[in-house]
Structure 1
Amino acid sequence: MPLTSDRTVRTSPYRPVLTHATLRRLLPGFTVSSLGDGMAVVAVSWLAIEIAPAAERGMWVALAAAAYTLSGAAGAVLLGRFLRRRSPARLVACDALLRATALGAIPVCHALGVLSIESYVALLALSSVLHAWGQAGAHTLVARLLPERDHLAGNAVLSGIGSLSTVLGPPLAGALILWGGAATVIAVDAATFLVLAATFLFGLPRDAAAPAAAEVASRTAGFAVIRRTPALLGLVALSFAFFCLFGPVYVALPLYVSDVPGASAGLLAAFYTAFGVGAVLGSVLTGYLNRLPVWPVTTGVVVAFGVFLLPTGLGAPTAVAVAGFAAAGLLWPPYASLSTALFQRSTPPELLPRTLAASSAVRVLAVPLGTVLGGPLVAGLGARETLLASAASIAVLGVVAAGAVRARRKSGP
């Protein structure tokens, strides 16, 4: 048994990632900030429910959830001229510092009694302005520090840390909300981003933090790379539609849970935690998928993801609905990690930060757009019916995408 265990460790695709000297310094900071964000998943919508006018809860929950990510898309495009020559480490640090400052202002204003729902949404929007660049910086570092064969494993480790945070974060948030309110959870989230900023400002050797010498290009260079690479363009289109159709879940699920007799933030946390448990397992499996073709996996994931969300929309018993979220979570890391690995393989190194930021901008725009649409959908259809429409649409999207890929391959040279 010991020999078998040793061999498993030596042959694990994650060993080069976890034993890399520089990444070992960075991963604890990622872990802390991801835990804070896992808690904020519950707190952001719950604080909106607490402070919004009762008649307008659906609209403000949608706006709050969208604001937490939407402005990152604008930042990816409009701030390129200022950020394109920053090193990947500086991009992550700048994003973390802005998040810590803007999120930290929310509990301060709440404690002073001056936090309106409008100012709350504005501060959430400000906090995410640099998030696309922060994500691009993190994955660019993975691509630079590791050989190509280890990129998928590196992406899976980052995804796994985020997934683990959705397991631990929501129940912690539920407990903190009962003790000190949702604003307390957001204060903790702000503090975790200070830890991440310090990690990247002081935890990297200078040569690892420096930008590549050849990094000079226009602010739209990342979009140009995507536009002229059919595989990347198709993947971005699929991701945009997938995430947009998933967006209404962020509005419908909290309202669906809040309408359950006797429900509390703990039940909402249970859904997110189940999703996170599945995602942790999915992250572990992702590193072993390096030889699988991207398109069959990604389109298959989209189909199955929609199918697993159907029980909630169909009004299944709570245990079945939560299990469906866990199964959907299992599929999230393979999709995200394989997509990022395709970008890392297909993009010139000097253009990778801008290309990843452009891709992130498209995806970041998709979820809030779907989230904003979730408000009218919930008002018109109801929370459960909106969940059903979202799940069915995602499954149909995957089927259509798989058919389009197959038709293109048959008609190709």
Structure 2
Amino acid sequence: MTADLPGTADLSRTRRGGLWHHLDFRRLWIGETVSQFGSNISQLALPLIAILILRASTFEVGLLVTCQLAAFLVVGLPAGAWVDRMRFRSVLIVNDLLRAAALASIPVAHWLGVLSIGQLYAVALLTGICTVFFDVAYQSYLPQLVQRQELVEANAKLQASESVAQIGGPSLGGALIQVLTAPYAILLDGLSFLWSAAWVHAIRARPPRPERAPDRNLRREIGEGLRFVLGNRLLRAIAMCTGLSNLFAAMASAVFYVLLARELRLSAGWIGLIESTSAIGGLVGSLLARRVADWLGQGPAIWVAALAMGPGGFVAPFVQRDWTLGLLALAQAVMWVAVVVYNITQVSFRQGLCPPALLGRMNATMRFLVWGAMPVGGVLGGLLGSAIGVRQTLFVVAVGSALTFLPVFLSPLRDLKELPSAAATV
């Protein structure tokens, strides 16, 4: 018989051996890990298709980044209200299948000789919309699979897998792109989403469908999510810090691959190797996150990690086709340590703070605020790259990124060793 929530057997195993013995969490973990490998292939392949095959301009590459992220602005807020009305597990499966189909259209179009930049924009937009729904449901589903005190461990394990995928994915992607060409390598990402859907389907814990309120109203429900986030000083500070960081990260993404592929003329294999080497920092961060939070306290861990993200950005504007490529990978690795410690700490706090009925809307509101800055950053990065140059744009990004820690540093988070666990406005 299917249980509504993790059963006592699962919980007793969890107490004895941690989440390694939590069957449903393990299924979610396995599916997401392989999907992350595929996504890292696409993250490299999509801009390289635009740059190397379709000969896209710097602005067009920036617009491609914008299309990938525009969904967070377009459907970010209503997605949370819709997801709160559905079974999270079903949302995950449907959006995995839709992303697989969208990505599969790219090699088909290339084989037929009709691949265009317009299709890349459409695929990026559709997969972005699916990612919005998937991510909101994903972060909302996790607290239903594990207990509150296990959230940091669960997020750390999931982040560790993402980091391993970021280490191996770009190198694997670069090699596959050279062997298969980018349009066909991206098909593997589509297959990885099918894999993820199969494992999510196998999860036994199936909480009941949320009750349908007779007077439910989409606008009111969106407003409840906004008021919960914006009415809490800690969440406001986290949203400002993360949103600014993402704005500058998207600006960098719009020109970074142009620098490596066009100006430095690096092969896909070398670009993938640089990305993989730098991503080692993400794995280290996932292993250190809990210790850093215990050592510094949860609040200080958030702002110290945010502060540590900035300095590494000053290497990219000056990198050349020489030993400085190694320095670039090292700087990005250090940056990724900080990024992952920050993300694990603040996401776990958000999940523990929020009432279950508001999880989808809280996550969607945060995604709207912090990821909604990214399409804006993609456009700004493309425009600046065309107007003042790629390296100059990366220097502007480095200066801005070094200041993004200020919202959390100037908030009550600076001194809070233990963050509140009650869903209350601070």
Q: Same fold (TM over 0.5)?
A: yes
Residues 407 and 330 of structure 1: is their aligned pair in 2 closer, same or farther, counting only changes over 3 Å?
Answer: closer
C-alpha separation in 1, matches of 2:16 and 2:383: 44
Residue 296 of structure 1, aligned match among 295, 300, 308: 300
Residues 185 and 228 of structure 1: is their aligned pair in 2 closer, same or farther, counting only changes over 3 Å?
Answer: same
TM-score for the superposition, normalised by structure 1: 0.88
Q: Residues 226-283 of structure 1: CA distance to partner in whole angstroms, max 9, x if unpaired?
A: 1222211221111111110111111221111124455212232133212311101111
- Which consecutive unaligned segments of at least 5 residues does structure 2 have? 1-13, 417-425
Residue 310 of structure 1, aligned match among 314, 326, 339: 314
Structure 2 counterpart of 1:97: 97
Residue 375 of structure 2, aligned match among 348, 368, 373: 368
Structure 2 counterpart of 1:378: 385
Aligned residue-pair number: 395
Structure 1 counterpart of 2:36: 34
Structure 1 counterpart of 2:203: 204
The answer to whether 1:74 aligns with 2:74 is: yes
C-alpha separation in 1, matches of 2:16 and 2:248: 32
CA contact (8 A) 1:17 1:154 kept: yes
Detail structure 1 runs of 4+ shifted over 4 Å in the superposition.
12-15, 79-82, 212-217, 406-410
Shift of 1:156: 1.3
Q: Residues 152-203 of structure 1: CA distance to partner in whole angstroms, max 9, x if unpaired?
A: 11111111111111111111111111112111121110111111112222x1
The answer to whether 1:223 aligns with 2:230 is: no
CA contact (8 A) 1:92 1:134 kept: yes
Structure 2 counterpart of 1:5: none
Residues 27 and 374 of structure 1: is their aligned pair in 2 closer, same or farther, counting only changes over 3 Å?
Answer: same
Shift of 1:37: 0.5
CA contact (8 A) 1:67 1:125 kept: yes
Residue 356 of structure 1, aligned match among 363, 371, 386: 363
Q: Which amino acid aligns with 1:227?
A: L
CA contact (8 A) 2:166 2:275 kept: yes
Shift of 1:15: 4.6
Residue 350 of structure 2, aligned match among 332, 343, 350: 343
TM-score for the superposition, normalised by structure 2: 0.86
Where does 1:237-316 land on structure 2 (aligned, <5 Å)? 237-291=240-294, 292-315=296-319
The answer to whether 1:161 aligns with 2:161 is: yes
Structure 1 counterpart of 2:22: 20
- Which consecutive unaligned segments of at least 5 residues does structure 1 have? 1-11
CA contact (8 A) 1:75 1:130 kept: no
Q: Which amino acid aligns with 2:392?
A: E
Q: Which amino acid aligns with 2:378?
A: T
CA contact (8 A) 2:46 2:120 kept: no
Shift of 1:407: 11
The CA RMSD over aligned residues, in Å, is 2.6
Structure 2 counterpart of 1:122: 122
Identity of aligned residues (%): 23
Structure 2 counterpart of 1:404: 410
C-alpha separation in 2, matches of 1:257 and 1:51: 16
Shift of 1:81: 5.4
Q: Residues 371-405 of structure 1: CA distance to partner in whole angstroms, max 9, x if unpaired?
A: 2211111112222222222122111222x335522
C-alpha separation in 2, matches of 1:314 and 1:303: 22
Q: SS where residue 114 of structure 2 aligns?
A: coil
C-alpha separation in 2, matches of 1:13 and 1:166: 30
Residues 185 and 365 of structure 1: is their aligned pair in 2 closer, same or farther, counting only changes over 3 Å?
Answer: farther
Structure 2 counterpart of 1:3: none
